[in-house]
Amino acid sequence: MTTPPHTRTWDWYPGSIPANSDIHGTAYIETTFSFTQYRSRLARGFYAGRGASAYLGTMFDVGERGHVSLGNFALVHGARIICDLEVTIGDYSLISWNVVIMDTYRVPANGGERRAVLERVSRLEERLLSSGGNPRAVTIGRNVWIGFDACILPGVVIGEGAVVGAKSVVASDVEPYTVVAGNPARIVRHISVTAAAIALNSEGSHVS
């Protein structure tokens, strides 16, 4: 593992990796700009496993009690992760550009209460919405593919091997080895997986 905080020699942004992150030496963080809205105060607020990647455009908007985990060889390309509790992305998962993964709404559903929050934010030096409401952890299983512009809402669990179609809004759990699409996302087909493929997939979980 690396010993943060540290910078990237190729980075155009003059930032650093947060001190409470745990990043494998083979993981790739394209730019520290991804952490400009990272505020976690946990002992470990961010984890990136072996070969994990976070490319330009990815934003880790993490609250003071939030924790984000990227599994081995997971790839996040230009997604926004809003986390006040826990967002877990499994090994070998692929998150496409403009995906939003959120474990919290941060504002009340009630219009009057929401208006009060927005008025309060307008008086802050840093105009950021603080952790609010009841965050619910989001778990994305191994070998999941989430298409561009999809939105994953609080509390959702996406099962291993599932595929989420582009521009889908996922408001409920997704079964393993299914393809879901739409708003709200629904199963459009099941993925046939042979016993050999499942065995091979299981072997990958032992990579460390």
How many distinct structural domains can be found in the chain? 1
Note the pLDDT tens digit of each residue in 65-115.
999 999 999 999 999 999 999 999 999 999 999 999 999 997 878 888 788
Is residue 176 domain-resident?
yes
What CATH number does residue 174 fall under? 2.160.10.10
Is residue 93 domain-resident?
yes
172 in Cβ contact with 184 (< 8 Å):
yes
Q: Residue type at 48?
A: A
User: How far lies 92's CA from each of 32, 107, 145, in Å?
Assistant: 22, 32, 9
Note the pLDDT tens digit of each residue in 32-45.
999 999 999 999 99
Is residue 41 domain-resident?
yes
The pTM of this model reads 0.88
Is residue 28 domain-resident?
yes
* Structural domain span for residue 80: 21-204
